[in-house]
């Protein structure tokens, strides 16, 4: 009976009308959409429901795997995914394309969806006069980058959602970001409804004039995308000029970069820690630590759950934009570990451990990879979504959760009746137990105990709230960053469970996201629900290779070295430019306006710089000088950028420094991990800013010698743990005494 009812419902849905203003659908398309919609379970991302609570409208995005696209699958807009089929339809109908680009955890994307794309009048106009395309920027970053260049050219800024009008050939003639629905909404002089009508009229009345405008915009975008960064390699002065530029931009009061908004990625923290070693400049280390301390104590950090939010909306790091991204947290976990290793406070280790726990608990996919992000919005008691609702508190909520410890909790977390977000407080932790103890007439130990109890109780109470949605697609590049974070942290903290978590993620990427294609194993950009999709970008290849190299150093397992080399070979085969360096897309990927070069301006590391360092590390490990030559050609491909604006590419400066100064090659051989650990820890804490460190038993060294000449002949002297310090495969005397080993490291670091 149930099967018959379901079949009847599908048959009915298959003949249901298309969204308002849209052309009728072919029967096979209507049937496929109806079957996909019937398989969905509530809640649905639409307010247009029938009497049975099912969506009234379904568009082609219901067939996609992207969580962002599926959020729009029941808009009354007749959306289509990016692809030639959509543009072919626009050419066939003689219509312009309406393009919307966003991502699943974007707050203003949700707002525009609710106010505009759920609006029947707006949807009817789009469907009648345009072909509408939705793009998940995280799945198709090349599409996003091309049209973001158009938005920047038109508005001088950027952001998401992006909203563009294109010719049927994909050339933009109008571009903006968030647009309110109607004239006067949110203070806008012209709303989306008016723009849609006027631009459709302009196309209908003068398509050739619109095409000429679009061609001019496209020419500018193509020039921006293909802007050559090449030049002669600068010297050490480039690092000095970058240091000076960073000092000028630094906010000495709150840390980070001066400005209204504070992004963790704005100040190059890893670069500052490395530069303080190169130059001995304590102010650079101080800038990094002040920023790390301020972020850890601020509202940008989830004080109960351990992860970091996307950015702060004001200079004190107090009020964040509440989405939490995998890439931000993976990068920050590693930086806090490296700061702790470089003599930073023990609190930095605790912050890193909290971030890694968040990544595993909240973003960890059961299959082994890491999911992309959590949303900025979460439902309140009435079910309506509100930004930050899950993370913010009223005094009454703290009292109900913390009980007898509420007074301490309210003071520790600075919760009051006013709050910062709609009368609710963002938790911060800027007090010391000593300072708060004096204020509350308590011993510091009593304050610490009360805060610990309150935090546990508040976390339990928060767990009963409706959490933010998780964007559960897996992005290769971001997983590469997470693999690095867990591998580096696991080794630094002597925690095998963290290294094992990195191995699970690496196995996931290699087993689920690498697919055979024409006899070649091709890495894919994203994975969700069993489907790997979209060509890998340069950052996917480079970041995954870097993670695999970090994992090889943490485990001495040859599988990870071989896999890293395969990724680097794929880059040279598919992404290389004849003059050196790389394109962002593979040679067989569809070209959007122009084949782009890697962009140094994003929130993740500069892909070309990571690739350069990958190849330098491969040369250091394998002794194969081809990798060094390729890395040097890669450096020349960004030499112009380093000469003109060195602070814009701090990762490239680190790669330049590694190529110039070389890396220390360190091998520790001994009978047990525990016996080798003091020598490894000394190397992690005291070695030069660039190093390869391998820690392994003698039998593993012998087995690796053919692939890693560095370990050939390395033995444990007299059965004791033995450490070797080499440069360019020339080694000094082995050390079996820990004090002597530390002296060797100190001398090499000072060279």
Pair 214, 288 in one domain: no
Rounded distance, CA 595 to CA 528, Å?
26
Please give the C-alpha separations between residue 202 and each of 170, 173, 179, 221, 299, in angstroms, as whole numbers.
17, 11, 19, 22, 47
Q: What is the pLDDT of residue 243?
A: 96
DSSP letter assigned to residue 473: -
Under the banding of pLDDT at 50, 70 and 90, the label for residue 36 is confident
Answer whether 665's CB lies under 8 Å from 692's CB.
yes
In a domain? residue 656 = no
Whether residue 62 is found in the same domain as residue 175? yes
Nearest to 658 by CA among 686, 631, 697: 631
Distance CA(365)–CA(380), nearest Å, equals 26
What tens digit of pLDDT does each residue of 413-461 get? 999 999 999 999 999 999 999 999 999 999 999 999 999 999 999 999 9
The per-residue pLDDT for range 487-513, each reduced to its tens digit, is: 999 999 999 999 999 999 999 999 999
Are residue 245 and residue 216 in the same domain, yes or no?
Answer: no
- Domain membership flag for residue 331: yes
Does residue 539 belong to any structural domain of this protein?
A: no
What is the rounded distance in angstroms from the CA atom of residue 186 to the CA atom of residue 192? 12
Work out the average pLDDT over 643-655.
92
Q: Is 501 exposed, middle or buried (0-12, 13-18, 19+ CB in 10 A)?
A: buried
Read off the pLDDT of residues 283-328 as tens digits, 9 standing for 90 and up. Answer: 999 999 999 999 999 999 999 999 999 999 999 999 999 999 999 9
* 492: in domain: no
**Region of residue 666 (left: phi > 0; alpha: psi -120 to 50; beta: else):** beta
Same domain membership, residue 306 and residue 179: no
Q: Which residues, other chains included, contact 611 with Cβ-Cβ below 8 Å and sequence gap of 6+?
A: 538, 541, 542, 545, 568, 571, 582, 634
Residue 7 pLDDT exceeds 50: no
Q: In terms of domains, do 55 and 135 share one?
A: yes
Residues 672 and 705 in one domain: yes
Say whether both 299 and 415 belong to one domain.
yes
Q: How far apart are CA 659 and CA 667, in angstroms?
A: 20
Domain limit, last residue, from 201, 225, 249: 225
Q: Tell me, yes or no, whether 88 lies in a domain.
A: yes
Across the range 629-648, mean pLDDT stands at 93
Q: Is residue 679's pLDDT more than 80? A: yes
Q: List, for residues 584-619, the tens digit of each pLDDT value.
A: 999 999 999 999 999 898 899 999 999 999 999 999
Are 200 and 317 within one domain? no
Give the pair of three-digit tokens for residue 306: 């351990």
Is 556 within a domain? no
Residue 113 CA to residue 193 CA, distance in Å, equals 14
Alpha-carbon span 425 to 391, nearest angstrom: 9
As a residue count, the chain comes to 751
pLDDT digits (tens, 9 = 90+) for 42-94: 889 999 999 998 999 999 999 999 999 999 999 999 999 999 999 999 999 99
* Residues 202, 539: Cα–Cα separation, whole Å: 39
CA separation for the pair 178, 732 (Å, rounded):
61
Range of the domain at 287: 237-470
Assign residue 724 the CATH number of its domain: 3.40.30.10
**Residue 15 — very low, low, confident or very high, per pLDDT cuts 50/70/90?**
very low
Number of compact structural domains in the chain: 3
400 in a domain, yes or no?
yes
* 670 confidence band (pLDDT: 50, 70, 90): very high
Kind plus residue range of the DSSP H or E element containing 290 = helix 282-297
Predicted pLDDT at 41: 86
Determine how β-strand 131-136 pairs with β-strand 97-102: parallel
Please give the Cα distance from 113 to 293 (Å, whole number).
Answer: 37
pLDDT tops 60 at residue 13: no
Asked if residue 70 is part of any domain, the answer here is yes
Q: What average pLDDT does the chain have?
A: 93
Band (5; pLDDT cuts 50, 70, 90): very low
Of 15-24, 108-117, 422-431, the poorest mean pLDDT is in 15-24
Instruction: Tell me how far apart the alpha carbons of residues 472 and 467 are, in angstroms, rounded to a whole number.
Output: 14
pLDDT at 17: 58
Q: Report CA-CA distances (Å) from 381 to 309, 385, 462, 464.
A: 23, 9, 12, 11
The predicted structure's pLDDT at residue 4: 42
Task: Return the residue matching tokens 């626009």.
Answer: 90
Of 195, 225, 255, the residue at which a domain comes to its end is 225
φ/ψ bin of 259: left (φ > 0), alpha (ψ from -120 to 50), beta (otherwise): left
Residue 344 CB coordination number (10 Å)? 21
Q: Decide which of 446, 470, 494 is a domain's last residue.
A: 470
Confirm if 613 and 573 have CB atoms less than 8 A apart.
Answer: no
**Whether 273 contacts 285, CB under 8 Å:** yes
- Specify whether 205 is located in the same domain as 270: no
Q: E-assigned strands of 564-721? A: 664-669, 691-696
CB 525 within 8 A of CB 514: no
Tell me, yes or no, whether 144 and 266 share the same domain: no
Residue carrying the six token digits 């508005």: 155
Are residues 206 and 122 part of one domain?
A: yes
Query: pTM for this one?
Result: 0.94
**Does 246 share its domain with 212?**
no
Give the C-alpha separation, 392 to 416, whole Å. Answer: 11
Could you give the CA distance from residue 686 to residue 277 in angstroms, rounded to a whole number?
Answer: 10
Token reading at 539: 């950052």
**Alpha-carbon distance values, 101 to 81, 106, 164, 312, 393 (Å):** 11, 11, 9, 23, 33
Q: Are 387 and 424 in contact (CB under 8 A)?
A: no
């Amino acid at each position: 009976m149930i099967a018959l009812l379901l079949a009847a419902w599908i048959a009915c849905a298959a003949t249901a009308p298309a969204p308002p203003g849209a052309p009728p659908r072919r029967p096979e398309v209507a049937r496929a959409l109806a079957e996909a919609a019937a398989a969905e379970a509530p809640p649905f991302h639409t307010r247009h429901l029938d009497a049975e609570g099912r969506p009234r409208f379904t568009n082609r995005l219901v067939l996609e795997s992207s969580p962002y696209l599926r959020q729009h699958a029941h808009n009354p807009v007749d959306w289509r995914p990016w692809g030639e089929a959509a543009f072919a339809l626009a050419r066939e109908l003689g219509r312009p394309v309406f393009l919307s680009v966003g991502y699943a955890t974007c707050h203003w994307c949700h707002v525009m969806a609710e106010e505009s794309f759920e609006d029947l009048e707006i949807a009817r106009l789009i469907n009648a006069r345009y072909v509408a395309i939705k793009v998940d920027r995280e799945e198709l970053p090349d599409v996003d980058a091309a049209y973001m260049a158009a938005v920047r050219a038109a508005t001088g800024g950027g952001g998401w959602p992006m909203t563009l009008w294109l010719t049927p050939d994909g050339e933009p003639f109008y571009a903006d970001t968030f647009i309110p629905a109607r004239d006067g909404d949110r203070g806008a002089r012209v709303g989306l409804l008016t723009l849609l009508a006027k631009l459709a009229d302009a196309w209908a009345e003068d398509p050739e004039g619109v095409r000429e405008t679009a061609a001019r915009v496209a020419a500018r975008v193509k020039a921006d995308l293909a802007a050559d960064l090449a030049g002669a390699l600068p010297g050490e002065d480039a690092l000095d000029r970058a240091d000076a530029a960073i000092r000028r931009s630094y906010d000495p009061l709150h840390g980070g970069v001066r400005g209204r908004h504070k992004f963790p990625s704005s100040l190059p923290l890893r670069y500052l820690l490395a530069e303080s070693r190169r130059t001995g400049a304590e102010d650079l280390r101080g800038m990094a630590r002040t920023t790390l301390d301020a972020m850890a104590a601020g509202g940008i950090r989830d004080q109960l759950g351990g992860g970091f939010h996307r950015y702060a909306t004001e200079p004190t790091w107090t009020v964040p934009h509440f989405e939490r991204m995998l890439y931000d947290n993976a990068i920050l976990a590693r930086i806090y570990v490296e700061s702790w290793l470089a003599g930073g406070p023990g609190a930095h280790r605790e912050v890193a451990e909290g971030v890694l726990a968040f990544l595993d608990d909240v973003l960890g996919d059961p299959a082994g990879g890491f999911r992309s992000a959590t949303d900025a919005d979460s439902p309140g008691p009435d079910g309506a979504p509100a930004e930050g609702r899950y993370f913010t508190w009223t005094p009454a909520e703290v009292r109900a959760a913390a009980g007898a410890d509420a007074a301490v909790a309210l003071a520790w977390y600075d919760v009051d009746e006013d709050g910062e977000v709609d009368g609710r407080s963002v938790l911060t932790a800027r007090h010391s137990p000593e300072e708060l103890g004096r204020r509350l007439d308590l011993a510091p130990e009593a304050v610490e105990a009360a805060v610990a109890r309150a935090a546990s109780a508040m976390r339990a109470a928060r767990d009963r709230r409706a959490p933010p949605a998780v964007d559960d697609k897996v992005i290769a590049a971001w997983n590469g960053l997470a693999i690095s974070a867990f591998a580096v942290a696991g080794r630094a903290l002597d925690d095998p469970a963290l290294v094992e978590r990195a191995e699970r993620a690496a196995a996931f990427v290699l087993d689920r996201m690498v697919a055979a294609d024409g006899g070649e194993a091709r890495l894919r950009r994203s994975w969700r629900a069993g489907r790997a999709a979209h060509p890998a970008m340069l950052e996917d290849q480079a970041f995954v290779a870097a993670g695999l190299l970090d994992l090889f150093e943490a485990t001495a397992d040859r599988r990870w070295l071989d896999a890293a080399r395969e990724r680097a070979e794929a880059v040279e085969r598919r992404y290389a430019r004849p003059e050196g360096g790389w394109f962002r897309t593979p040679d067989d990927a569809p070209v959007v306006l122009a084949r782009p070069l890697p962009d140094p301006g994003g929130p993740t590391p500069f892909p070309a710089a990571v690739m350069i360092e990958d190849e330098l590390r491969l040369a250091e490990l394998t002794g194969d000088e081809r990798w060094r030559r390729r890395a040097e050609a890669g450096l020349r491909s960004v030499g112009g950028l380093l000469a003109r604006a060195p602070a814009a590419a701090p990762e490239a400066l680190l790669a330049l420094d590694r190529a110039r100064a070389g890396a220390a090659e360190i091998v520790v051989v001994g009978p047990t991990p525990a016996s080798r650990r003091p020598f490894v820890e000394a190397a992690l804490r005291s070695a030069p800013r660039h190093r390869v460190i391998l820690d392994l038993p003698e039998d593993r060294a012998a087995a690796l010698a053919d692939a890693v000449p560095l370990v050939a002949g390395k033995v444990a002297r007299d059965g004791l743990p033995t450490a070797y310090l080499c440069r360019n495969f020339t080694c000094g005397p082995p050390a079996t005494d820990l004090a002597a080993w530390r002296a060797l490291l100190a001398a090499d670091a000072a060279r």
